[in-house]
């Protein structure tokens, strides 16, 4: 019988000055799982009163971003005019297409009081047919997302299809992303997908008898059935879907099916900064005056909330 696990990925941890980010994808030996080309686990972290997360305005092309919160809150603002606070159980689905700029910051209430935050952030590569589509944003409150109830485990279907449920989150190719928490020791089948990973947020899992520890990702083989065993209290995320329709290249916050398109995006961002975001390819979200330069370029003056010595580290948690 073939091995149920193709690959185990251990996290690469970064200390961002008050909280830790664990990066799983991309990896030199594994660039994506289905359309998922980026996978970060932020926290858990407790931020004291007066402290918060401030990801200044930055651009994206060729992808959709998803931030799934287990704890905390974030204010999203983007260049198409969206201002939306996200809290646990809801989905902010931002599609960059040919280009969008956005920021994410701790809301005022949580910043004043102090709060705990934990999140998983993923990027999903758009099919080549949609790479240059108009940017858009959709918010899906917790009430509209399908609730999953397996034997001994429960959770939420974030996007795509699994276990006979279908998420309202729209994406132009096959996708599957869901979270499950074990109420007691339990075993169930992994969902079907061309490519699929299992990430252990908290606790421990077994895939056909192989141990998968906390903060570890297992790339599953396509064989089914594939039995997953969780110990009580374990929380996991499945992510995957159809195989990509060709290779994807990543540079900073840009995803594209050609390196030439990445170079154009970098030039467009620099030109937008030089043009003060007035009539340029990328523009600022309403109310935002701060931005992140292309890596290696000079930092802008007057950075808010972020100490200069942590600035580039902070932007490693990209959204």
User: Would you list the domain boundaries of the chain?
Assistant: 5-241
- pLDDT the model gives residue 16: 75
- Nearest Cα to 119, choosing from 319, 256, 268, 287? 319
d(CA 25, CA 33): 9
- pLDDT the model gives residue 92: 96
**Options 3.40.50.1820, 3.30.465.10, 2.60.120.10, 1.10.10.920; which CATH number does 5-241 get?**
2.60.120.10
CA 30, 36, 41: angle at the middle one, nearest 5? Answer: 85
- pLDDT the model gives residue 303: 59
d(CA 227, CA 206): 8
- pLDDT the model gives residue 304: 52
- pLDDT the model gives residue 89: 97
- pLDDT the model gives residue 15: 82
- Nearest Cα to 229, choosing from 195, 180, 194? 180
d(CA 61, CA 169): 19
In 10 A of CB 278, how many CB atoms? 8
d(CA 134, CA 132): 7
d(CA 58, CA 206): 39
- pLDDT the model gives residue 2: 67
In which residue are the tokens 């996007």 written?
159
- pLDDT the model gives residue 302: 67
Find the farthest-apart pair of alpha carbons in the chain and give their distance in angstroms, rounded: 60
Q: What is the pLDDT along the chain (319 residues), one digit of tens a residue?
A: 469 999 999 999 998 777 789 999 999 999 999 999 999 999 999 999 999 999 999 999 999 999 999 999 999 999 999 999 999 999 999 999 999 999 999 999 999 999 999 999 999 999 999 999 999 999 999 999 999 999 899 999 999 999 999 999 999 999 999 999 999 999 999 999 999 999 999 999 999 999 999 999 999 999 999 999 999 999 999 999 999 999 999 999 999 999 999 999 999 999 999 999 999 999 999 999 999 999 999 988 765 543 333 333 233 344 4
Helices (H), 74-211: 108-113
> Contacts by 15-23 with C-beta closer than 8 Å and gap 24+?
15/313, 16/310, 16/313, 16/314, 16/316, 16/317, 17/307, 17/310, 17/313, 17/314, 18/45, 18/47, 18/51, 19/43, 19/45, 19/47, 19/117, 20/45, 21/316, 21/317, 22/215, 23/316
d(CA 294, CA 250): 13
d(CA 219, CA 109): 39
């Amino acid at each position: 019988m073939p091995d149920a696990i193709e690959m185990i990925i251990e996290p690469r941890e970064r200390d961002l000055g008050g909280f830790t980010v664990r990066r799983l994808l991309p990896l030199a030996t594994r660039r994506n799982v289905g359309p998922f080309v980026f996978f970060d686990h932020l926290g858990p972290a407790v931020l004291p009163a007066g402290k918060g997360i401030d990801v200044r305005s930055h651009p994206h092309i060729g992808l959709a971003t998803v931030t799934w919160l287990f704890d905390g809150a974030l204010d999203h603002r983007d260049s198409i005019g969206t201002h939306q606070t996200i809290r646990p159980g809801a989905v902010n689905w931002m599609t960059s297409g040919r280009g969008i700029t956005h920021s994410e910051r701790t809301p005022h209430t949580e910043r004043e009081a102090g709060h705990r935050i934990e999140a998983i952030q993923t990027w999903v590569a758009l099919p080549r047919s949609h790479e240059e589509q108009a940017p858009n944003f959709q918010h899906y409150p917790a009430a509209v997302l399908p609730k999953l109830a397996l034997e001994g485990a429960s959770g939420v279907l974030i996007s795509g299809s699994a276990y006979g449920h279908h998420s309202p989150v729209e994406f132009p190719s096959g996708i599957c992303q869901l979270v499950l928490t074990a109420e007691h020791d339990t075993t169930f089948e992994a969902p079907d997908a061309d490519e699929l990973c299992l990430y252990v947020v908290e606790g421990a899992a077994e895939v056909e008898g192989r141990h998968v520890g906390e903060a570890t990702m297992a790339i599953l083989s396509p064989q089914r059935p594939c039995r997953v065993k969780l110990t009580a209290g374990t929380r996991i995320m499945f992510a995957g879907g159809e195989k990509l329709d060709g290779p994807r290249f990543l540079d900073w916050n840009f995803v594209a099916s050609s390196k030439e398109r990445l170079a154009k995006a970098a030039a467009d961002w620099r030109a937008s900064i030089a043009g003060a975001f007035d009539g340029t390819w990328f523009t600022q979200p309403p109310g935002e005056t701060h931005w992140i330069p292309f890596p290696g370029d000079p930092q802008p003056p007057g950075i808010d909330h972020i100490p200069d010595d942590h600035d580039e580290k902070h932007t490693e948690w990209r959204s």
